[in-house]
Amino acid sequence: MSLLIPLTLCCDVDSFYPEDLSVSWLQNSTVLPEPPVTEQSPGGTYSTRRYYTLSPRQREQGGKVECAVRQPGLKHPVSSSTYLEELVPTGKI
């Protein structure tokens, strides 16, 4: 895996209501900046797809990258994570 090119990750959150939702990207427990984007479906629920592109420098840091979702009424965030060392490149640049 080449660490000299950026790596884009995706976090999909579907069928949530109400719209009030917070999605954060973290690398090794440090919050990464991310602009918000949310869409409403015809059924009244919302969905969002958040991308984050890690720079070559961020990739070199390695470790865990996490997408954490927070919504009012949830006691704890719902999250999904991966370790950069486990990602396999697709060959696309």
Give pLDDT tens digits for 42-86.
888 888 888 888 888 888 888 999 999 988 888 888 999 989 876
pTM assigned to the model:
0.66
Contacts of 49 (CB under 8 A, 6+ apart): 10, 11, 12, 13, 37
* Cα–Cα dist 91/23, whole Å: 28
Superfamily the domain 7-86 falls into: Immunoglobulins (2.60.40.10)
Determine the pLDDT at residue 28.
Answer: 92
**Helices vs strands, H then E, count in the chain:** 1, 7
| 8 Å CB contact between 79 and 67 | yes
Domain segments of the chain as ranges = 7-86
Examine the pLDDT at 37 and tell me if it is beyond 70.
no
